[in-house]
Every structure is written in structure tokens, then in C-alpha cells.
Structure 1
Amino acid sequence: MFSITVLCSMLWIVVTIGYYALVLNTSNLHGDPFFNCFLSGLVEVPAYIIALLLLQYCSRHLCQSSTLFLGGVMILCVRIIPIDSEIVPVLLEILGKFGMTSAFCVVYTFSSELFPTVIRNTAMGCCSMAARIGSIVSPFIIYLGQYNKALPYILMGGFALCGALLCFLLPETFGKPLPETMAQMQPICG
């Protein structure tokens, strides 16, 4: 149970770092900051719809890893691929935000299904508390752009890709009955 809690907490930290760092970085993008902020908010609508459809039809591992992988790859491509266009980096960051927003939606469902009913609220509170660490760290990651423009993107993308792999260490919950007691959780944890 401890390992599941630690892994879920790490996953929440990764997701919140990626999500909030992208939100805070919107004003640093090329072009009109108001339009970029509008796009950043607008992309959340289809991201949540896609995430809900993925949750309904796909395994939790696939949902969490694919959304984090999409977000991580797009974020890494923003600065790693040298492009002279001002539009392409904005589109890549918006696609990264799409992936991270979807990952945020999925992580709530995935982690809540991992814990038995008797401790689910406490475990979700622990994961949410861990997520605040990601929220606290996010502005500092963006600030690293003062020293090297690529560094925030490398960190956000790298964390997201690590999170995409990390979720495979958690048990699959798709289509399985939720554990009600700690005794029912023992076969899942091993």
C-alpha cells in the first residue's frame, strides 16, 4: 500500500508540475499574450472530453501513459527542435498543454481506483497534498528560463516522460471491481 501511495504521489507531482508550469509560461510565448492565454484555456475543453472518452474505453495504464507521453514529447519539441517559425512553438506548447490537461483528468480517476474505500479519501488527500509540491515548484521551473530558454521545457518534458513510465508500476484497475477493504487490497499489492 505504501508503494502505491508513493507512486501515486509522484505521478501527481509530475502532472501538476507540467500543467501549472505550462499555465504560467503562457505569457512567455511569442505573439499576443491574450490570444495565447485564450488558446491555453480553450484547449482544456477538448482535452477533458478526450480524457473522459479514454477513461471509458481504455485501460488506465494506456490513458495515463499516453496523455503524459503526448504532453512530454510536445513540450520537449518546443525548444529541442530548432524552428524559426513563431507559430510552431506556440502550437507545440498548446498540444503539450492538451496532453497535460488530459493527464490531470486521468490521474484523479486512476489514483482513486487504486485505493480501497476505507482509506480512499485519506489517500486522495495525500496525493493532493503531494500535488501541491508540484504547484510550488512550477514557478521556479519557469524561472530557470532566465538562464537557459530550453531548461524549463527539458525538465517539464522529462518529468512527463518519466511519469508515463512510472504509471506502469501501478496495478491496472480498468474493468475491475474497486477494493472495499484493506484485505481486498492485499492481492492487488502483492
Structure 2
Amino acid sequence: MSLCSNVFSKTMTRLTIGIAMSSALLLTACDDHNMQTSTTMKATADLSVFEGCYTVSSDEPAQIKVSQQGDAWIMQMKEAASAKRVWDDPEALEVIENSEIPKFFSIDPDNVDAVLGRPDRVLVLAHVKPAYANIDPLLDSEYLSYIYRGANTIYRVECDDVNTDILANPHANIIIDNVNVDAHASS
């Protein structure tokens, strides 16, 4: 019986090892498939979230326009009031990998679902996932911009075809009244 028991034990050991290895290979294959799906999903980010116009303050007219021409994405800046056209010549935009986000923004790349930028990286736009934008008290917009070494939120606004004097001094019409010192002293 010990010979039978020994053969049975070896067979069971081989069977157990075979099942364990098959399971490991199956799990590895599933994990590789999930990694490929994740990479594919990031590579095919929904860039349509960028189509539209943007400004640096939600109550200002549009200053940047992002649109799609064929398979390519472009941006245009609004021209000054003295120009004979509203928007300047289109500049190409390209998809930027999420791994590059820390170069431009101080946000966890997992909270960003799409990034576009000029090839020279003078302008980079990021779309923050709406769920994250809703809980981060520092964000009041789903859109971030990096413009020549500075990052900030930008606001999506209605596109218009009206020239504005974007070069004008925004502080030119501010009137500061004198403070009545006597009124503060008596309180």
C-alpha cells in the first residue's frame, strides 16, 4: 500500500501544482488584459470635453477657442479689437500623456481624464474629472490651463465672434473712494 499511497501522493501533488500554475497563469492573463484595457482607455480619452471657448474669469468674454479640424485639435486666441479678424491662425494641439501632468499641474493624474497641449507646451489644457472638481475646494472649474510657466483654473464660456480689447488695462476705470477716517474711529 505504501507504493500505491506514494504514487497517489505524487499524482495529487502534481495535480495541485498544475491547478495552482493554471490559476496563476489565468490570473496573470486577466491582469495583463486589464492593464491593456486601462492603457487603451487612457489613450482614447474623450477630447470632446475641450471643444469650446475659455477665459480666465467666468464673467469675461472668450479668449481661447478649442476645436476639432478633421482628426486634429486646434486652438485659437482672440485678436485685439484693432485686428481685421476675431480669431488668430489655428495652432495645433496634441494629446499629452497623464504621466506628464506633474510637469504642469499640482494635481494627481488619476483625477484628470484628458490633457491637450501645444507641441511647444506654452499652453497645456487639462480636464479634471467632474467628481473630483466637485469635492476639491480649490477648484471652481473642471478646466486647468498652464500658460507659459503658470497654472490656474480657466472657465468654459460661450463662444462669440466679437472682438474685445484684451490688451486694454482692466484697472483703468477703477475708482477708489477716500476712506472716511472719522467714521472708523467712532466705531
TM norm. shorter chain > 0.5: no
Report which structure shows greater RCO (CA 8 Å, sep ≥6). 1
Rg (Cα) greater in structure: 2
With normalisation by structure 1, the TM-score equals 0.24
Greater strand share, structure number: 2
